[in-house]
Amino acid sequence: MAGKKKTDADGKPDLEQSLEQLEAIVESLERGDLTLEQSLQAFEAGVKLTRQCQETLAAAEQKVQLLIEQNGTLKSMPFDSEA
């Protein structure tokens, strides 16, 4: 199974896969050996991946809010990002 891409229910790469791709893009941009056109394409891909990651994290946050249980009943509570 090595090399098999993981995807979420929508067929998008999962969060870990997206973060790995984003890290690779950042590293290639930092090396500075890409042409201007390649750099722009890499940057655009990075922006798309960042947005996908933000959407995935927002969906996870909503699930956490719904699943917090207090006194035997579900209670929606704000997500504490400081924890």
State the pLDDT at residue 11. Answer: 61
Is there a contact between 14 and 7 (Cβ–Cβ < 8 Å)?
yes
Is there a contact between 57 and 16 (Cβ–Cβ < 8 Å)?
no
pTM over 0.75: no
Q: Give 69's DSSP letter.
A: E
State the pLDDT at residue 1. Answer: 36
Cβ–Cβ contacts within 10 Å for residue 51, how many? 11
Q: 39-74, pLDDT tens digit by residue?
A: 999 999 999 999 999 999 998 888 887 777 655 576
Q: Categorize the per-residue pLDDT at 2 as very low, low, confident or very high, splitting at 50, 70 and 90.
A: very low
Token pair in block for residue 55: 């959407």
How is the chain split among helix, strand and coil, in percent rounded to 5?
A: 60, 5, 35
> Which domains does the chain carry?
15-74 (1.10.287)
> What is the phi/psi pair of residue 74, to 5°?
-75, 135
